[in-house]
A and B are shown apart, each in its own frame.
Chain A
Amino acid sequence: SQKIEQNSEALNIQEGKTATLTCNYTNYSPAYLQWYRQDPGRGPVFLLLIRENEKEKRKERLKVTFDTTLKQSLFHITASQPADSATYLCALGLSMLTFGGGTRLMVKP
């Protein structure tokens, strides 16, 4: 069956460190993979989109990698800040999306 897995346990890191979140999927061959940020009680906010023919994408302190052989994407936040604390969702697709369960990131000052 199709599955998108993100670490369901919260990730706690110290301010200034790099946060790395993982998204693994099975039985999908997505042309696009996206990462979103979601704060409690709010809709998801788009962060980055990466295409299947792209290995890596960057935007300011964010970096996403996409390994279609491993069926995995890694999402990095460098120089993390307490304001980065949120739930991060991985999603497959372009407009009609299938979401992973999300990983909650807590950045401590």
Chain B
Amino acid sequence: GAVVSQHPSWVICKSGTSVKIECRSLDFQATTMFWYRQFPKQSLMLMATSNEGSKATYEQGVEKDKFLINHASLTLSTLTVTSAHPEDSSFYICSASFGGKSGTEAFFGQGTRLTVV
């Protein structure tokens, strides 16, 4: 099956710094990538949808200037948490689809645990 890899698996950063998380589709070209956030004991909440070569579409309540998403190639999307604060500590998960926004199923990465201290 299609493989999606996230890096890093976990990261600890100081408050006020920025952190970049990578999401790669290893064996297919991902037209669309999705970024989710999961707080402890809660479910995954969609943050944004990114299509290769265009600006990401953010869900209501997600600050686009704080969570910068770049999808510069068909195999890589990055999420940068800028000026991170402790409340940004969460589990960030990406998924990738190769059929467009509503085309085919998506495949998930293993997630990145972000801890802001």
Interface size on B, residues (CB 8 A): 27
- The A8-47 residues at the B interface (CB cut-off 8 A) are 34, 36, 41-46
Residues in B neighbouring A97, C-beta threshold 8 A: 34, 44, 46, 95, 106
Residues in B neighbouring A89, C-beta threshold 8 A: 43-44
A101 touches B43 (CB 8 A): yes
B16 at the interface (CB under 8 A from A): no
B102 touches A95 (CB 8 A): yes
A96 touches B49 (CB 8 A): yes
Residues in B neighbouring A34, C-beta threshold 8 A: 105
Contact with B along A82-106 (1 / 0, CB 8 A): 0000000100001111111110000
Residues in A neighbouring B109, C-beta threshold 8 A: 43
A95 touches B44 (CB 8 A): no
Tell me, in angstroms, the Cα distance from A36 to B44 when the chains sit together. Answer: 11
Residues in A neighbouring B113, C-beta threshold 8 A: 41
Tell me, in angstroms, the Cα distance from A38 to B43 when the chains sit together. Answer: 10
Q: Interface range on chain A: under 10, 10 to 19, 20 to 34, or 35 or more? A: 10 to 19
A62 at the interface (CB under 8 A from B): no
Q: A99 and B44 in contact (CB under 8 A), knowing A42-B111, A43-B6?
A: yes
Of A42, A99, A100, the contact of B110 (CB 8 Å cutoff): A42
Tell me, in angstroms, the Cα distance from A102 to B45 when the chains sit together. Answer: 12
Of B43, B49, B97, the contact of A100 (CB 8 Å cutoff): B43
A49 at the interface (CB under 8 A from B): yes
Residues in B neighbouring A98, C-beta threshold 8 A: 46
Tell me, in angstroms, the Cα distance from A22 to B32 when the chains sit together. Answer: 30
B91 to chain A, nearest CB (A): 8
